[in-house]
Amino acid sequence: MVTMKSFPLVGGILAVLYGLVSVNGNEQTKVVGGTQSGERVPHQISLQIMINSLYGFGPKTWAHNCGGSIVSPSYVITAAHCLDGIEASRLSIVSGTNDLRNDGAKGSRRLVASYKIHPEYKELDKCDIGIMRTQEPFVFDASTQPIRYSDTQVGGGESCTLTGWGYTMPIRIGRTPQDLQQAELKTITNEECRSKGFPVNPTEICTFTRVGQGACGGDSGGPLVWNGELIGVVSYGTRFCGIGSPDVFTRVSEFKAWLDANQV
């Protein structure tokens, strides 16, 4: 079996830092093979990081880096690799909007007070999950709501939905979209995923629908939803997106006890 080389699906922060990406603009682009989300996704958040723009010499600005899911009044689930090595003081969460224009002004921003990464996390291998606590609790309304998760095991052949502000072309160049995107995907069994070159373990779940569709950089940490339930957290894929290889997600059901215990 040929093993595919894998890459985390974080956003283009370094590109913004070095002046290669504009964080403003009005172009409407799509998740690879997806469409602009026409409905509210009230559990979806944009995890943003404070950076210096314009080659590192410009003013400080918030920039989208990953996605995440609200699961309780003060807690958000994301991928461990979106948090690893970053000070919590440099992170914030934009919620309650599909539109990140004008610094996410249509939503609300909360600073991250702290986060925890799963103690067995190993990048591109296992336990790519973390949980963040916000400095102020969310105010739940029509645009902001938690999503449930459970220990239900989801197998192959199930229809699910991916949402995020990740890159919309196979090559991660340019900038990520301002409007939330979504794609309807199908789960595959772990055996199928391994046969396609990904040495996944039981704590992961894969999707593959067709060439030209899937997650990309900037979607990391975001939700894979099945029957209204959070079943996956975007973890990794190939260097080029949507080229006919599966996407790998952290299987949330395997971490229910850990997630429950760390919301205190």
What is the set of active-site residues?
Answer: 81, 128, 220
Pairwise CA distance, residues 121 & 111, whole Å:
24
CA distance 199 to 76: 28
Residue 264: burial class (beta carbons within 10 Å; 0-12, 13-18, 19+): exposed
What is the DSSP-derived secondary structure letter of residue 254?
Answer: G
Q: How far apart are CA 223 and CA 147, in angstroms?
A: 10
User: In 3D, which of 11, 34, 33, 36 has the Cα closest to residue 23?
Assistant: 11
**Short-list 166, 161, 182, CA closest to 225:** 161
